[in-house]
């Protein structure tokens, strides 16, 4: 039998088209598999015993692996996966549009160190030579007061 896709002729295993035809003809698909894929052929091929041979040590230097050559650029963290390889999806993979980033210094969202409004004001004051106001600092504390904290009474 033949199939127009040609994969049955190349591999010796019936393709999906041929299996569907065999199903409609009510024939077993194992009868149409090439003999080299059958268990009986495998057992006949490997039925004899392979005896180990003596391996003599050679005179000379033992074989060593080739020297490691460091390639230019940043090393890759992961190997390149094959197109047929399954990609695992874990907890670390999230869509960026659902992740909310917070800038660590002011604890507010939607900006980073370059666009932080409080940092921009401080940089402008420093550029003009002004010092920050005394109200921003608590006496004896190393860090400025952040947000609208209620005064201690």
pLDDT digits (tens, 9 = 90+) for 21-45: 888 889 888 888 888 888 999 999 8
pLDDT digits (tens, 9 = 90+) for 101-130: 777 777 777 777 777 877 777 777 777 766
DSSP collapsed to 3 states, 35-89? HHHCHHHHHHHCCCCCCCCCCCCCCCCCCCCCCCCCCCCCCCCCCCCCCCCCCCC
Question: pTM of this prediction?
Answer: 0.31
- Please name the residues in contact with 14: beta carbons below 8 A apart, sequence gap of 6 or more: 3, 8, 22, 29, 32, 33
Q: How confident is the model at residue 72 (pLDDT cuts 50, 70, 90)?
A: very high
């Amino acid at each position: 039998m033949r199939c127009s896709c040609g994969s049955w002729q190349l591999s010796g295993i019936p393709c999906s088209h041929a299996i569907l035809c065999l199903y409609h003809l009510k024939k077993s698909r194992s009868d149409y598999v090439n003999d080299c894929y059958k268990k009986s052929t495998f057992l006949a091929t490997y039925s004899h015993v392979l005896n180990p041979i003596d391996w003599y040590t050679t005179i000379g230097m033992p074989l060593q692996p080739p020297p490691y050559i460091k390639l230019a650029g940043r090393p890759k963290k992961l190997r390149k996966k094959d197109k047929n390889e399954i990609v695992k999806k874990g907890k670390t993979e999230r869509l960026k549009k659902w992740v909310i980033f917070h800038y660590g210094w002011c604890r507010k969202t939607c900006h980073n160190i370059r666009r932080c409004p409080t940092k921009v004001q401080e940089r402008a004051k420093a550029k003009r030579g002004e010092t920050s106001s005394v109200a921003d600092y608590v006496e004896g504390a190393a860090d400025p007061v952040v947000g609208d904290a209620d005064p201690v009474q």
